[in-house]
Structure 1
């Protein structure tokens, strides 16, 4: 999340968005983004976190935010009054993260939630994407299909859609078309998205369940433990057992 005052150009995937004045922006990890200040007077704040930060016991479900289901980039122009309110929330997060209060991260989660709901209350995002962008629609459905398989809630669960072809068949399109669309919109391959999400779920299960490593491997669709160990090391740089003990 970013709060900027000034003139800047933001790039969401392949789309450039020029903003001026007081602006609140949200960014999804599946969409490449960057920005370029157009004025030396540009200033602001940002907050970056991983989806695991909100994974448990919180009312904000990052997998189902309507903010990211729109074809519009989540860019919100703010009045002076609204800017002050948003700035105050960023300042609160800064104070908490530097403090030693035992529940400071719970407070920060609530501030993030408040930012999201304030944005949805004030103004709908500007419609800057073309609704007819087939690649973007396919990519959004593909990413949603991945998320629909999570969280893994039972050790005997089987992760079904494991390959790009599985998703292409589900969408009734050719796998090459799916691969091209996802790469064009996100800059990553379909396989990268699938494996990264599997890796994220593996970390959650290792940290927050008492399932054995073998049970976790099986629930994520791995035929044997060595295959899962190799996958996890490639994704994280450590073995599942070592990660669990940290």
Structure 2
């Protein structure tokens, strides 16, 4: 059983437990459920940097990354830095995140917010909307084609944008459909945790032009971004690079200023 299988098994148990306590009707009563969402794709199209900055406390591959920064400070810092959007990890067991982080980020900034989690049930999509997300992540390797269709259609009906994450050509071919907005190529091999931006380069030509291309994982240098931009990438999801510093917002600001020079 690899780490992804473990995470998904635990996520299934978590969703079952939540559904015993909270109904979708209850989620729909949360004030954020009716708010107008902010478009990440719009921001990425008009940006020269394309940075989506993450709030992440820890990860299975790196253990603790940052357990001192407050989500509200990071959200304010990222907005001030001029990022295109903010990604918030809401998985508790493996990434130390919570839905409270999502709602706090939403209250602290006007950035489009991606709920970064392992979505395996429609309940989590309604939950994402209720807690202030603008974008959801769907991971092709843990979902069937039918699930990707079902989940992306539900997201679109709630005015949420959809970022689909793929690792290889097979996942990409399985998953391309009109209800997606962005396709993210994860440069991390989830079996070995090795990272290479060559993965983004290899898959770039296979992604149809109607989708915004995003490169994820292992983006830690200006050079990596400049190397990937000619391949059509408009978005770059950066997690650990900012979060491993004392002031993630300040780090993001310096990074973007240098990138845009």
TM-score by length of 1: 0.26
Q: Relative to total residues, which structure has the larger helix share, 1 or 2?
A: 1
Q: Relative to total residues, which structure has the larger strand share, 1 or 2?
A: 2
Which structure's relative contact order is higher, taking Cα pairs within 8 Å and 6+ residues apart? 2
TM-score by length of 2: 0.25
